[in-house]
Chains A and B, each alone.
Chain A
Amino acid sequence: MKEENNNKDPHDRHPMLEQLSQLWKNKPAIAGLIIIVTFILAAIFAPWISPHDPLEVSLYDQIKPPVWHETGAWKNILGTDDLGRDTLSRIIWGSRVSLQVALFAVGLAFAIGTFLGAVAGYFKGKLDSAIMRIMDMILAFPYLLLAIVVVAYLGPSLENAMMAIAITYVPRFARIVRGSVLEEAEKDYVMAEHALGAKNRRIIFLAILPNCLGPLIVLTTLSMASAILDSAALSFLGLGAQPPIPEWGAMIARSRGLILRASWVMTFPGVAILLAVLGFNLFGDGLRDALDPRLRD
């Protein structure tokens, strides 16, 4: 099948197939995909694969080292925290929390940002400048600061952290969609839709937006990476997940006090954050190379 395709002129192939094969050949992207899938599986099957209850406090097992340490035991592979809770189980359950928060935050930003961007780019004029002015206002803040401040006002909780991240991400989506829509709206097929008497709503969402998907998919993937990072940062500052929720950033914050006695307790959640973010970044970069021909070598 593959050889057959190679003999043909690559331009004959459907562009999407071409892009997929481009992506498939990109080893870092595939590595990223594997990492992402691993975390997703861990999140879905957390109740079955985690060796212990993530909330189970065990006073006999306080601050146990990981298994490869002299005094470590297989019972707690990555050791335990100051309340005797199993680190590995908490990390596995933590992937559920982090992925959920990132997914909802990015999903919300995607929905609002795409809508605003599409409306601004399609109708232009005053509506466009009004929407983009508001986006500029949000962009006038360093985004982590804005997220921190929004949660500070709304009150610390996982839902508010999610909302805050979503708000700070809306302008990215709005800008990129607006740009694409401005470009697409000039094309012939849009004129054809107009001539056929299609309604604006139909033209925007069924004709134009599908053609702007490439950059949007890339942005969504890369935003997942930064949303995981930001939600962990918020939780680290005590503004996101509240105890006893097993969340990576909160786990690091809690084990800060153990830095002298048991530095491993805070090491593993950090590795989990780093890996998850790296996975989405690797895959996002690969997607960009595949979907955006302008950036292709």
Chain B
Amino acid sequence: MIPTLLGVSIIVFLMLRLTPGDPAELLLGERATEEALFEVREHLGLNEPLHVQYGLFLQRLSQGDLGETIFTRQKVWIEIKQRFPATIELSLLALVISCCLGIFLGIVSATKQYSIFDYASMVGALVGVSMPIFWLGLIFMIIFSLNLGWLPISGRLSVHIDLEVITNFYILDSILTQNWAALKDTLWHIIMPAVTLSTIPTAIVARMTRSAMLDVLRQDYIKTAKAKGLSSFKVTYKHALRNALIPVVTTIGLQFGVMLGGAILTETIFAWPGVGKWMYHGIEQRDYMVIQGGTLFIATIFVLINLVVDVLYAVVNPRISVQ
């Protein structure tokens, strides 16, 4: 994992340096004064050889110093820390939706192979993996917010709702403070972005679960279990599912990481105040410190998730030992 993280830091480090043009000018814009440019060059060590610059970069990173944003002059790390719970809350809910729905659809499709339900859910899954989610999100808005008026169109919490923020995870905060009005309002706000974000993972998990289940259901030990006279429910959910879930766990873990990337799209559409939307504004303003910090942060989380998935994989699959 350490080499991967170092790799991530090298790529992020090189991006700014390899971009055509003077990095200091990229950071400060064309109208920067000579003194300001000089200061930035000194600070980033841009006059030093590349490996010295990288050493400096790593040294700052190890102290949790991601620099300051160019336009708002805020610490990048603090900006991320404020916004990250919103992103995680959204991605986690989307993950829960896609696990529950995807695994359910996959199991039923596999146990009723070639039935109408199987065809319908697999066509649905195919449409799901082909879905431009930024468009789907807007369509949801048109239907559920503008036409039906059921759900709020954007944001995380209505203005008139007071919520005492403790962890910045609004669902958790409203439960902790037993603020049920806020809980309802938060859920109302999060449901549309979460469903949008979960579309592609749900479809992928459903397809994966179906094929894994079909694979397992064909094996001899399932026949044995059936021959022993176990109920088909028990065979499906106790005997087959446990083995079928092994490849699905990996897929789910990967999808969680992919969601962090997709969060830029979803958060931008729904004005969700997370890291993704913040990065999008950073890109619009060409704030390279925001882009660099955000990328580094999300990639680190992505690597950590992959590590967790590897461990989980060994937990659900005792044939593989954790090294």
Interface residues of A (CB under 8 A from B): 28, 133-134, 136-138, 140-146, 148-150, 152-154, 225, 229, 232-233, 236-239, 249, 252, 256, 259-260, 263, 266-267, 269-270, 273-274, 277-278, 281-282, 285
Quick check: is B270 within 8 A (CB to CB) of the other chain? no
Complexed CA–CA distance, A273 and B261 (Å): 20
Q: Chain B residues near A278: list those with CB within 8 A.
A: 126-127, 130
Q: Give Cα A225–Cα B260 distance, bound, in whole angstroms.
A: 21
Q: Which residue of A lies closest to B300 (CB)?
A: A140
Known: A153-B15, A278-B127. A259 touches B141 (CB 8 A): yes
| Complex alpha-carbon distance, A256 and B265, angstroms | 14
Which of A149, A150, A274 has a CB less than 8 Å from the CB of B127? Answer: A274
Interface residues of B in 239-276 (CB under 8 A from A): 257-262, 264-265, 268
Contact A282 B126 (CB under 8 A): yes
Interface membership of B176, Cβ < 8 A: no
Residues of B within 8 A of A282 (CB): 126
In the bound complex, how far is the Cα of B275 from the Cα of A142, in angstroms? 14
B162 to chain A, nearest CB (A): 29
Interface status of B49 (Cβ within 8 A of chain A): no
User: Which B residues touch A232, using CB under 8 A?
Assistant: 132
Considering residues A140, A239, A285, which has the most beta carbons from chain B within 10 angstroms of its beta carbon? A140
Report whether B302 and A142 are in contact in the complex, using a CB–CB cutoff of 8 Å.
Answer: yes
Max chain A C-beta neighbours (<10 A), residue from B16, B19, B136, B138: B138
Chain A residues near B7 (CB, 8 Å)? Answer: 133-134, 136-137, 140
Give which listed residue, B126, B130, B142, contacts A259 with CB less than 8 A.
Answer: B142
**What's the least CB distance linking A94 to chain B, in Å?**
13
Say yes or no: B130 contacts A281, CB within 8 Å. Answer: yes
Contact B303 A140 (CB under 8 A): yes
Contacts A229-B130, A278-B130; A236 near B265 (Cβ below 8 A) = yes
Most chain B CB neighbours (cut-off 10 Å) among A153, A225, A252: A153
Q: Which residues of A contact B175 (CB under 8 A)?
A: none
Most chain B CB inside 10 Å of its own CB: which residue of A149, A225, A266: A149
Given A141-B295, A144-B264, A148-B264, are A252 and B134 also a contact pair (CB < 8 Å)? yes
Q: Which of A134, A146, A256, A274 contacts B130 (CB 8 A)?
A: A274
Which A residues lie within 8 Å of B126 (CB)?
Answer: 28, 278, 281-282, 285
Name the prevailing secondary structure of the B interface residues. helix
Task: Note all chain B residues with C-beta closer than 8 A to A150.
Answer: 15
User: Is the CB–CB distance between A153 and B299 below 8 Å?
Assistant: no
Query: Which B residues between 196 and 242 are near A, CB-CB below 8 angstroms?
Result: none
Q: Interface size (B, Cβ < 8 Å)? A: 45
Do A140 and B134 have beta carbons less than 8 Å apart?
Answer: no
Between-chain CB contacts (< 8 Å), 29 pairs: A28-B126, A134-B7, A136-B7, A140-B5, A141-B299, A142-B260, A142-B299, A142-B302, A143-B258, A143-B261, A144-B264, A144-B265, A145-B264, A145-B298, A148-B283, A150-B15, A153-B16, A153-B19, A225-B130, A229-B132, A236-B135, A237-B265, A238-B284, A249-B132, A270-B132, A270-B135, A270-B136, A281-B126, A281-B130
Complex contact A137–B298 (CB within 8 A) = no
**Contact in complex: B146, A260 (CB < 8 Å):** yes
**Interface SS majority for chain A:** helix
The listed residue (B131, B139, B259, B279) touching A267 by CB distance below 8 A is B139
B302 touches A140 (CB 8 A): yes
> Distance in Å from the Cβ of A238 to the closest Cβ of chain B?
7
Q: Is the CB of B10 within 8 A of A137?
A: yes
Question: B141 contacts A137, CB within 8 Å?
Answer: no
B28 within 8 A of A: no
Name B14's closest neighbour in chain A (CB-CB). Answer: A153
CB distance from A140 to the nearest CB of B (A): 5
Q: How far is the CA of A150 from the CA of B129 in the complex (A)?
A: 24
In the bound complex, residues from chain B placing their C-beta under 8 Å from that of A239 are 283
A263:B4 contact, CB within 8 angstroms? no
Find the B residue at minimum CB distance from A256: B138
Residues of chain A lying within 8 A (CB to CB) of residue B264: 144-145, 148, 237
Say how far B282's CB is from chain A's closest CB, in angstroms: 8
Q: Which residues of B contact A249 (CB under 8 A)?
A: 132, 134
B104 contacts chain A at the CB level, 8 A cutoff: no
CA distance in complex: A88, B113 (Å): 40
Beta-carbon contact of B132 and A277 below 8 Å:
yes
B291 touches A149 (CB 8 A): yes
Contacts A140-B8, A249-B132, A274-B127 given; does A149 touch B15 at CB 8 Å: yes
A251 to chain B, nearest CB (A): 10
Write the nearest CB–CB distance from A252 to chain B, whole angstroms.
6
Contact with A along B113-128 (1 / 0, CB 8 A): 0000000000000110
Verify if B3 is at the interface (C-beta below 8 Å from A).
yes
**Residues of B with C-beta under 8 A to A256:** 138
